[in-house]
């Protein structure tokens, strides 16, 4: 899965979610395991492609809680989150791609020493445009079938039919003391 393929699915699906459910807040979990060269992930997103998803959701102007997430190439997880933090605070264009040489962690970012290096692909993108279009359409149709926002009900939990403490207290009071605790 590359940047173009991913964003051609991500943006229309998120737009459909917004139109159908009209959320008042969004929790965006930004797992870095979808980056190219991740040790366990099998996507090939670049830092810019991954960040484009954050830019898109931010452009919706709905309050967001943005969380980090998975990622198994630690130097790229740090790069991803730094890049997306810059996007969220509107400083993406102001931050140099070069990692400062006075950083005590500089050696972790070798050999590129950059915030957004090109990432090698671990897996070929075998997804055809037709296949991805069919998946996108099916997801959008399924979203439209769910008429209410999936959520946890926010209402008081009704009391139990029996008050267990009262039942236990009654049971203890009605026991013949001469018959209690005999083996």
By CB neighbour count within 10 A (0-12 exposed, 13-18 middle, 19+ buried), where does 152 fall? exposed
The token duo for 178 is 């001469």
> What pLDDT does residue 179 have?
66
The token duo for 168 is 């236990």
Tell me the domain boundaries of the chain.
Answer: 3-150
> What pLDDT does residue 154 have?
63
CATH topology of domain 3-150: 3.40.800
> What pLDDT does residue 106 have?
92
CA nearest to 78, candidates 39, 48, 105: 105
Q: How far apart are CA 77 and CA 35, in angstroms?
A: 9
By CB neighbour count within 10 A (0-12 exposed, 13-18 middle, 19+ buried), where does 157 fall? exposed
For residue range 132-177, list pLDDT tens digits in order.
999 999 999 999 998 876 566 666 666 666 666 676 777 777 766 6
Q: Pairing state of beta strands 64-67 and 26-29?
A: parallel
Q: How far apart are CA 125 and CA 146, in angstroms?
A: 31
> What pLDDT does residue 180 have?
57
User: Between helices 74-88 and 47-59, what is the axis angle to 10°?
Assistant: 30
Per-residue pLDDT of the chain (183 residues; tens, 9 = 90+): 999 999 999 999 999 999 999 999 999 999 999 999 998 888 999 999 999 999 999 999 999 999 998 899 999 999 999 999 999 999 999 999 999 999 899 999 999 999 999 998 888 999 999 999 999 999 999 999 988 765 666 666 666 666 666 767 777 777 666 665 555
> What pLDDT does residue 173 have?
75
The token duo for 21 is 């459910």
% the chain with pLDDT above 70:
84
């Amino acid at each position: 899965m590359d940047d173009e393929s991913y964003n051609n699915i991500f943006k229309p699906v998120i737009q459909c979610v917004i139109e159908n459910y009209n959320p008042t807040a969004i929790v965006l979990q930004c797992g870095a395991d979808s980056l190219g060269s991740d040790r366990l992930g099998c996507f090939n997103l670049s830092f810019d492609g991954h960040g484009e998803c954050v830019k898109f959701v931010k452009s919706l102007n709905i309050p967001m809680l943005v969380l980090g997430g998975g990622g198994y190439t630690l130097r790229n997880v740090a790069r991803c989150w730094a890049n997306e933090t810059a996007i969220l605070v509107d400083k993406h264009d102001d931050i140099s791609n070069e990692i400062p040489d006075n950083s005590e962690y500089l050696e972790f970012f070798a050999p590129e020493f950059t915030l957004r290096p090109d990432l090698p692909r671990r897996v070929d993108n075998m997804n055809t445009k037709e296949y991805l279009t069919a998946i996108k359409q099916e997801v959008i149709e399924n979203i439209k079938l769910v008429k209410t926002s999936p959520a946890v009900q926010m209402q008081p939990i009704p009391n139990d039919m029996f008050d267990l403490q009262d039942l236990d207290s009654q049971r203890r009071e009605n026991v013949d003391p001469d018959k209690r605790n005999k083996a």
